[in-house]
Amino acid sequence: MKPLAVGPHEIWPPLVLAPMSGVTNRTMRALYKPFGLGLTVTEFVSSNALQYASSAKRTMEMIDQHGLEKPVSTQLWGDDPAVMAKAAKIVRECGADIVDINFGCPAPKVTKTNGGSACLRDLDRCEAIMRAVVEAVDCPVTMKMRLGWSEDKLVYIEAAQRAQTAGVKALTLHARTAKQFYKGNADWAHIKRLKESVDIPVIGNGDLSDAHDAIRRMEETGVDAIMLGRATLGNPWLISQIRDLMEGRAAQAVPSAADRLRYAIGVHYRAMLEELGESRAVPQMRKHLALYLKGIPGAAVLRERIMRLDRAQDVVAVVEETIESLERAVAA
């Protein structure tokens, strides 16, 4: 496989962490980068919110970087070309290596203002946004989209061709419509069709939860890279497995349940506590621990216990108790 080329950036491995709201903050990106990511993407940021960044601490946190996770792409959403251009300048000044335009998010809080995937209902507006952002910054601009707003309005090929003409350097396609949200299966036949329709790099996204299946998808479609999202939550070892296969090695085994939980509290949880403080880290980590617990006996009961806890030491105690129980079971 070849590196993913995005402007001056040669990205290896061609493996990208998807932007996920409330998840891919700088702590998460720095934690996941060593598993084998070539590129990380911030949470998607409202271009309107960035106009008031001086008084919006949360917005600035979303685009903040450690430096450990570079290169970093900052993703923006909005429906106004001028506002998107201004926001692109701000995030570039704040260290974005790549500016990514969000035409993919199906969440109602985004689409009700014609942002995200709702933009695909008006390709003229999409093109105006892309041209404004490309003109505004001196770094590569990329774009992520869905197939279209609905099954009867699949516009991804035209949107991609307009993006290429506008100067966009790479495209990511999540192979569902906006109306599908995350239901049904991502249709990678569309990703293959997109790759055959443009000359700029294409990144495939959707339903990549198995390392061998991910490589098969790349080979079948000819995409230049793949983007991983929800499947990595609670399982960053998936990233390592795909990297191994990309580099010609056998995929390493996923650690034991006990070792996965040790990482969850010894590395992930500790990093969040140091970054965010207990009051913010505990609620955020509950959802992560619920995913690390997936497949462990009694996981539902453990998740319920953890969701009721507010102190870090109490959460750690429950997980350590679980680790001991798992190891006793293995020994027996």
Which pLDDT score, from 0 to 100, does residue 204 have?
98
Residues 142-176 pLDDT 10s: 999 999 999 999 999 999 999 999 999 999 999 99
- Annotated catalytic sites, by residue? 105
SS (H, E, C) the chain: CCCEEECCEEECCCEEECCCCCCCCHHHHHHHHHHCCCEEECCCEEHHHHCCHHHCHHHHHHHCCCCCCCCEEEEEECCCHHHHHHHHHHHHHCCCCEEEEEECCCCHHHHCCCCHHHHHHCHHHHHHHHHHHHHHCCCCEEEEEECECCCCCECHHHHHHHHHHHCCCEEEEECCCCCCCCCCCCCHHHHHHHHCCCCCCEEEECCCCCHHHHHHHHHHHCCCEEEECHHHCCCCHHHHHHHHHHCCCCCCCCCCHHHHHHHHHHHHHHHHHHHHCHHHHHHHHHHHHHHHCCCCCCHHHHHHHHHCCCCHHHHHHHHHHHHHHHHHHHHC
CA nearest neighbour of 168 among 7, 330, 315: 7
108: pLDDT strictly greater than 70? yes
Confidence class of residue 123 from pLDDT cuts 50, 70 and 90?
Answer: very high
254: pLDDT strictly greater than 70? yes
What's the chain's average pLDDT? 93
Which pLDDT score, from 0 to 100, does residue 246 have?
97
Higher per-residue pLDDT: 56 or 191 = 191
Place of tokens 């750690």: 316
54: pLDDT strictly greater than 60? no
% of the chain beyond a pLDDT of 90? 80
Q: Report the pLDDT averaged over residues 97-126.
A: 96
Confidence class of residue 332 from pLDDT cuts 50, 70 and 90?
Answer: confident
Confidence class of residue 55 from pLDDT cuts 50, 70 and 90?
Answer: very low
Tokens of 116: 């995200």
CA–CA dist 86, 17 (Å, integer): 25
| Cα four-point dihedral sign 88, 90, 93, 95 | negative
Output Rg (C-alpha) for the chain, integer angstroms: 20
CATH number listed for the domain at residues 4-246: 3.20.20.70
Q: Provide the residue ranges of all domains of the chain, joining segments of one domain with +.
A: 4-246, 257-331
57: pLDDT strictly greater than 90? no
Contacts of 121 (CB under 8 A, 6+ apart): 114, 149, 153
CA nearest neighbour of 99 among 126, 65, 133: 133
CA nearest neighbour of 143 among 166, 121, 109: 166
CATH topology classification for 257-331: 1.10.1200
Confidence class of residue 275 from pLDDT cuts 50, 70 and 90?
Answer: confident
Count of alpha carbons within 13 Å of 192, Cβ hemisphere only?
Answer: 10
200: pLDDT strictly greater than 80? yes
